Amino acid sequence: MSKIRERQFNHDGELPPGTPDTQHWVVYTRKKEGNPFKWAGSLNAPDLELAIQFAGEHYGLDEACIAVLVHHADDRTDGPCGLEPLEPGTADGDDGSDWTVLVLPRRGGNLQEAGTIKAPDAETAIARGTRAHANGKIVQVCVVPTDRTVVITGDHDTLIWRLHDMTYKFARGYSKDVRAKWTRIRDEETYEDYRKEDIHSHF
């Protein structure tokens, strides 16, 4: 056996505790003021603080948005997903705590925020959410206790969008940047001739 393998390691005291297990978190983004939050993806993090940080760093910085909503995956209760649009139902009432309602416009689509309702439990929240938001255009209602959701914006020094121009990441931004570079040394007509020829050659 080599000498390095023969070495004995002595530790003073007990070993430090292990890294906490990660938990599953769900992320939604809001693109413009007045628009609903829409499902963006999910991530793993050991606690809420890191989940918020990761959400801003990944989903906030990956696309232009003004706010990010995060909740633990276990806090969401999903209603049944129908093959046909849901009927409003008759559940009524305003007792209980606040629940954030998320709706699915179509099977295979993405959840988006629809509003809030009051209910004493998740089952009632789904029933009341269905009554309030089923309009013949959604196939599922899901609910999350509102106090279990966290919304982050650009306030309070929380960065959720890069400070420098990131439009080049998008097809529209790339095209705009290319045009600007070409037209600095060529006229618009020359650029259009080049663009049409380039598209013809590649597609």
Model pTM? 0.70
Domain range for 187 is 167-202
pLDDT in tens, 9-39: 676 777 677 667 889 999 999 988 899 999 9
Do 48 and 135 belong to one domain?
yes
In a domain, 18, yes or no: no
Do 100 and 187 belong to one domain?
no
In Å, how far are 51, 72, 87, 133 from 84, measured between CA atoms? 35, 29, 9, 15
In a domain, 43, yes or no: yes
In a domain, 76, yes or no: yes
Do 111 and 59 belong to one domain?
yes
In Å, how far are 56, 152, 188 from 49, measured between CA atoms? 11, 11, 50
Do 35 and 83 belong to one domain?
yes
Of the ranges 89-103, 164-178, 182-196, the best mean pLDDT one: 89-103
Do 40 and 128 belong to one domain?
yes
pLDDT at 142 over 60: yes
How many domains does the structure of the chain reveal? 2
pLDDT in tens, 40-61: 999 999 999 999 888 888 876 6
Structure tokens at 77: 């209760």
How far apart are the C-alpha atoms of 142 and 112, rounded to whole Å?
10
In a domain, 82, yes or no: yes
